[in-house]
C-alpha cells in the first residue's frame, strides 16, 4: 500500500477501490479532453471506465497517489472533502531510453535504467494555475529520494506543453534530452517530447537553495 504524503495544502493518498464518490470524482476530471490527451490517454467515456482504471491501473501500482486538498472549502471550487482532483505516480522508466529517435545529454545517460524512476501526473482543470501540481511534485520527489533512495527521477512532457514543463522546472528538473515522434497508442498520435531529470545530488542542492534564508 502506498504511504500517505502530506504537504501544506495537499494530502496524497491511495485510491479507494469500488467507491462511488471516488469514481465520480475521477470521471468528472478525467472525462475532460484537455486532461488525458496531454498525458497520452483518451478521455474517460463513463463512470464504469473510471472505476476500472482505479481498480486495474491506479490501485495495483506501487507508488500511485490520488491528489486531494486538505481544506477544499478554501479553494472556492465546487468539490467535496477528500475528493481526488488529480493523480501522481512514480513508475519504472517507460519513455526514457537511448533509442534512435531520442537524444540524451551524455551527463545523464547513465541514469537510464538502474536505480531511477519516471514520474507522471495530471490535475483537474479547475485547479490549474494554483500551485497545487508543483506542491505535489516536490512532495513526491522528496519521497523518491528520501524514502525510496533512488538515484534520479525522470519526467517527460509534450514539447509544446510548456505548462507541464514549467511545473517540472519549478521543482528543479532540468532538460536532459528530447524524443522525436514518440508514439502514444491509446490516442493514436505522435508527439515530440522533452525529457527532464533531477538527480539525488541536484535534489539536495534544490532543497538547500529553497530553504537557504541567508
Query: Could you report the per-residue pLDDT of 159-195, keeping only the tens digit for each?
Result: 999 999 999 999 999 999 998 988 898 999 999 999 9
Does pLDDT of 214 surpass 60? no
Domain CATH code at residue 118: 3.40.630.30
Tell which residue, 61, 31, 32, 67, has the closest CA to residue 46.
Answer: 31
Distance of CA 93 to the CA centre of its chain: 13
State the pLDDT at residue 163.
Answer: 95
What's the number of domains the chain is made of?
Answer: 1
Helix (H, G, I), strand (E, B) or coil at 6: strand
DSSP strand E in 8-55: where? 10-13
Kindly report the pTM of this predicted structure. Answer: 0.92
174 or 102, which is more confident: 174
Q: 205 is in which domain, residue-wise?
A: 5-211
Q: In this structure, what DSSP letter does residue 162 have?
A: H
Does pLDDT of 99 surpass 80? no
74 or 104, which is more confident: 104
State the pLDDT at residue 213.
Answer: 44
Query: How many Cα atoms occupy the beta-carbon half-sphere of 121 within 13 Å?
Result: 29
Does pLDDT of 51 surpass 60? yes
The residue behind cell 482504471 is 53
Does pLDDT of 1 surpass 60? no
How large is the average pLDDT for residues 75-97? 85
Lowest-confidence region among 62-71, 88-97, 143-152, 188-197: 88-97
The residue behind cell 491509446 is 186
pLDDT of 33-43, one tens digit each? 999 999 999 99
Tell which residue, 194, 38, 166, 186, has the closest CA to residue 102.
Answer: 194
How large is the average pLDDT for residues 122-131? 95
State the pLDDT at residue 100.
Answer: 60
CA dist list (Å): 55 to 19, 80, 120: 10, 21, 18
How large is the average pLDDT for residues 53-73? 93
Amino acid at each position: 500500500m502506498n504511504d500517505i504524503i502530506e504537504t501544506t495544502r495537499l494530502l496524497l493518498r491511495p485510491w479507494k477501490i469500488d467507491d462511488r464518490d471516488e469514481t465520480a470524482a475521477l470521471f468528472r476530471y478525467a472525462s475532460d479532453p484537455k486532461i488525458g490527451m496531454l498525458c497520452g490517454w483518451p478521455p474517460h467515456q463513463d463512470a464504469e471506465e473510471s472505476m476500472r482504471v482505479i481498480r486495474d491501473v491506479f490501485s495495483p501500482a506501487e507508488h500511485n497517489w490520488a491528489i486531494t486538498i486538505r481544506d477544499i472549502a478554501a479553494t472556492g471550487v465546487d468539490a467535496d472533502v477528500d475528493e481526488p482532483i488529480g493523480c501522481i505516480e512514480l513508475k519504472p522508466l517507460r519513455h526514457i531510453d537511448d533509442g534512435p529517435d531520442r537524444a540524451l545529454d551524455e551527463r545523464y545517460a547513465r541514469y537510464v535504467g538502474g536505480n531511477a524512476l519516471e514520474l507522471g501526473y495530471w490535475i483537474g482543470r479547475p485547479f490549474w494555475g494554483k500551485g497545487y501540481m508543483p506542491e505535489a511534485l516536490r512532495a513526491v520527489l522528496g519521497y523518491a529520494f528520501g524514502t525510496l533512495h533512488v538515484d534520479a527521477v525522470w519526467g517527460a512532457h509534450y514539447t509544446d506543453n510548456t505548462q507541464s514543463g514549467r511545473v517540472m522546472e519549478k521543482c528543479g528538473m532540468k532538460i536532459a534530452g528530447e524524443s522525436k515522434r514518440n508514439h502514444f497508442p491509446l490516442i493514436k498520435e505522435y508527439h515530440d517530447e522533452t525529457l527532464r531529470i533531477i538527480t539525488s545530488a541536484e535534489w539536495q542542492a534544490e532543497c538547500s537553495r529553497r530553504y537557504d534564508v541567508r
